[in-house]
Amino acid sequence: MCATGSGVTSAADFKGKSLGVTDLGSGTDELTQFLAAQKGIKHSDYSTLAVGAGSTAIAAIQRKSAQCVMTTQPTVGALESRNLATSVIDLATTQGATAALGGAWPAAGVLARADWVNSHQDAVQRVVDALVATLHWINTHSAADIANALPPQFVSNSTITKQQYIAGLTSDKGQFLPDGIMPAGGPKTIMAMEKLIGTDTSKVTVGKTFTNSFAEAANKLEGDTITTTPAGADG
């Protein structure tokens, strides 16, 4: 999301700008570096500011301490409704993520050390069962149903109204994969990003970084396996 009048229309315009991310070293920070590097913009060519999300990200745009912020709904909707910023790079849809990143970019998942997973498989399975059941529920309910099930202050506050929350979730709900299965090609996109931004990946074997076995077992509990086209990152 880039401020109205910032002059930023793509990552090629990041040079000399202050860019807001949720936190330094976070996924949004790495995504910003990746987008810049793809356009030949070095990290030293721009500054990065930790702005969080919600009111603090909005304030960064209002005060012009950041020309752009990497953020998610409902902050996106709040910035748009106030005419403070527009979406310059769309990472919330499959089409947008593929155009900007070269493929699906898994933004969230269950992360744990392999040795712990191997020695606590029952606990891991129960966690994944709960998450997959939640994803199935999200897939079979409308954005309004989801908003009605959440605490009122989460969907209606100083940042956004309930109707704005529902509108934003309606457009972005495709980010939540119904089956919890790792998107095909997703890990390779992550690996490409890490290499481009300078992370040492020499000891990483992509196929050993994830497993779908727990999600596949969880889907059997739900009575089906859903296949879907993944969206991009959370913002």
- For residue 176, the Cα-to-chain-centroid distance in whole angstroms is 10
CB distance 29 to 58 below 8 Å: no
d(CA 225, CA 109): 18
Q: Does domain 114-222 have CATH number 3.90.650.10?
A: no
CA distances from 34 to 40, 61, 161, 194, 230 (A): 10, 22, 33, 8, 20
What is the pLDDT, as a whole number, of residue 230? 46
Contacts (Cβ under 8 Å, ≥6 apart) of 119 = none
What is the pLDDT, as a whole number, of residue 35? 95
pLDDT below 70 — which residues of the chain? Answer: 224-235
Where does CATH 3.40.190.10 sit in the chain? 2-89, 114-222
Q: Does domain 2-89 have CATH number 3.40.190.10?
A: yes
Q: What count of other Cβ atoms lies within 10 Å of the Cβ of residue 71? A: 26
The answer, yes or no, to whether the previous bond of 183 is cis (omega within 30 of 0) is: no
d(CA 123, CA 129): 10
Nearest Cα to Cα of residue 165 among 137, 145, 139, 141 = 145
Task: Specify the residue for token string 């497993």.
Answer: 211
d(CA 144, CA 47): 38
What is the pLDDT, as a whole number, of residue 24? 93
The conformation of residue 45, written as its DSSP 8-state character, comes to: G
